[in-house]
């Protein structure tokens, strides 16, 4: 069963994450996204890519149940090397504009994917939660680099440690998103922006991405690799076990 809907219209490729209830990522969905971006890079009819979520949630990050099911044998480093790290690189390296249409809550690895996009338009209902520390993990999926780059180290530290949500208006004020619109206007506004870009010099946009990657994110590969090492450490600690148990039991974790 596919978890990713793909439509190509007017030179805009729209990828819609559709995995009820909260568009949480599992291996199948990550694989579908990787394949979609691989095809998008080759598809000459697709000049702009839009990434969004179905329903009222952009994405809840990694499926915690999948983590729990493989807890005894899971290598966090290997998992990241095969899943989110390649996907983040694909989004940054594809020489076409990628717009995230953030339709609702966005947390954990989903936040990293949204931050890797070139532009972000958020619905007023969008909320951004770093999420990782809440289950005893450290940020991955590029969040440790991209979030401080966009909103500053102090703000990134506060919201990583506190696990509090950043509202859409604050996200706009801080430069986390480019625009905020009412929920019902999100996709029309996103596609208007995409159409403007599709009519532009997409080749030059791709070269501009190369420059921005070199100027602002020259150590992306190194950071993604280091995140995987750090997550391997965090994932083996009792804090993570307690964080996951508390999440699934819907209680406040007791970190000792």
Q: Is the peptide bond before 188 cis (omega within 30 degrees of 0)?
A: no
Burial (CB count <10 Å: 0-12, 13-18, 19+), residue 29: buried
User: Of the given ranges (70-84, 112-126, 213-227), which has the lowest mean pLDDT?
Assistant: 70-84
Per-residue confidence (pLDDT) for residue 27, from 0 to 100: 94
* For residue 69, pLDDT beyond 80: no
Going by pLDDT thresholds of 50, 70 and 90, the confidence category of residue 71 is: low
Q: In the chain, what are the domains? A: 4-184 (3.90.226.10)
User: Of the given ranges (7-11, 62-66, 117-121, 217-221), which has the lowest mean pLDDT?
Assistant: 62-66
> Which has the closest alpha carbon to 96: 142, 140, 37?
37
Predicted confidence (pLDDT) per residue in 171-212, tens digit: 999 999 999 999 999 999 999 999 999 999 999 999 999 999
Distance CA 235, CA 133 (A): 11
* For residue 130, pLDDT beyond 70: yes
Q: How far is CA 163 from CA 141, 246, 254, in A?
A: 17, 14, 15
Predicted confidence (pLDDT) per residue in 11-55, tens digit: 999 999 999 989 999 999 999 999 999 999 999 999 999 999 999
């Amino acid at each position: 069963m596919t978890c990713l809907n793909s439509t190509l219209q007017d030179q805009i490729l729209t990828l819609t994450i559709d995995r009820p209830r909260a568009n949480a990522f599992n291996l199948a969905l990550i694989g579908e996204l990787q394949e979609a971006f691989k095809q998008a890079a080759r598809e000459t009819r697709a000049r702009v890519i839009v990434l969004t979520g179905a329903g009222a949630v952009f994405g809840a990050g990694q499926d915690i149940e999948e983590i729990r099911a493989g807890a005894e044998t899971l290598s966090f480093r290997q998992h990241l090397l095969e899943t989110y790290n390649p996907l983040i690189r694909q989004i940054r390296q594809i020489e076409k504009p990628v717009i995230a249409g953030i339709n609702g809550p966005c947390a954990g690895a989903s936040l990293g994917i949204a931050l890797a996009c070139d532009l972000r338009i958020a619905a007023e209902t969008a909320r951004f939660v770093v999420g990782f520390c809440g289950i005893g993990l450290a940020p991955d999926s590029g969040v440790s680099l991209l979030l401080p780059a966009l909103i500053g180290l102090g703000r990134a530290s506060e919201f990583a440690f506190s696990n509090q949500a950043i509202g859409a208006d604050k996200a706009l004020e801080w430069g986390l998103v480019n625009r905020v619109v009412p929920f019902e206007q999100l996709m029309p506004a996103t596609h208007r922006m995409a159409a403007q870009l599709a009519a532009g010099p997409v080749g030059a946009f791709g070269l501009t991405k190369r420059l921005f990657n070199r100027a602002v994110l020259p150590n992306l590969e190194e950071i993604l690799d280091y995140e995987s090492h750090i997550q391997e450490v965090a994932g083996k600690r009792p804090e993570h076990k307690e964080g996951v148990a508390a999440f699934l039991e819907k209680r406040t974790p007791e970190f000792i």
